[in-house]
Structure 1
């Protein structure tokens, strides 16, 4: 292997290995329960009410993630017209942080 290919492959390997600490972190159910009990995050029913008021439709997926020291819910909703809407909501307030349509 040529030296510049070896350097590129090694760099790519390091980026892939570091990918999980750089990405949003998923939480287990015990952590979620504790966050809910201490009031650091809202219950899913309240978050879904907020999401439905922004984008009516059927829930496709919901995840609680931790990133940059904050918690957020990532919600995917299937709208009546067949489009998927991805909402990112602040977990403590259910305020919409980001909205994308697929």
Structure 2
């Protein structure tokens, strides 16, 4: 099965930009096809309601390990979360849900 061309372009762009985003603390979120989510995340970051993606990624990499493949930003059960699709050192792909305000891992599921 082939990824949708728009999603593929976004994933390639995210992969290329991830080191810059992590180093610079840019308030990136991963739904390039949804400008409303992106703008909402930027507003929330500026107001201090959520943490930067770079901080979330650093925290999750320390606590969970693995490499990020995809990032989604959404509202879930009344709070904003980052959903990270990650490949673990074992090769297993997992979805890690992180509270965007606290950087606390909420759940880890097999993808």
Question: Normalising by structure 2, what TM-score?
Answer: 0.63
Among 70, 91, 95, the alignment partner of 2:100 is 91
Give the CA RMSD over aligned residues. 1.5
* Larger Cα-atom Rg: 1
Partner of 1:78: 87
SS of residue paired to 2:51: coil
> For 2:50 and 2:77, how far apart are their aligned partners in 1?
15
Superposed displacement of residue 69, structure 1:
2.0
> For 2:83 and 2:107, how far apart are their aligned partners in 1?
9
Partner of 2:78: 69
In structure 2, runs of 5+ residues without a counterpart are: 1-33
Superposed displacement of residue 30, structure 1:
1.2
In structure 1, runs of 5+ residues without a counterpart are: 1-25
The range that moved more, 54-63 or 30-39, is 54-63
Superposed displacement of residue 28, structure 1:
2.0
Tell me which protein shows more strand as a share of its residues.
1
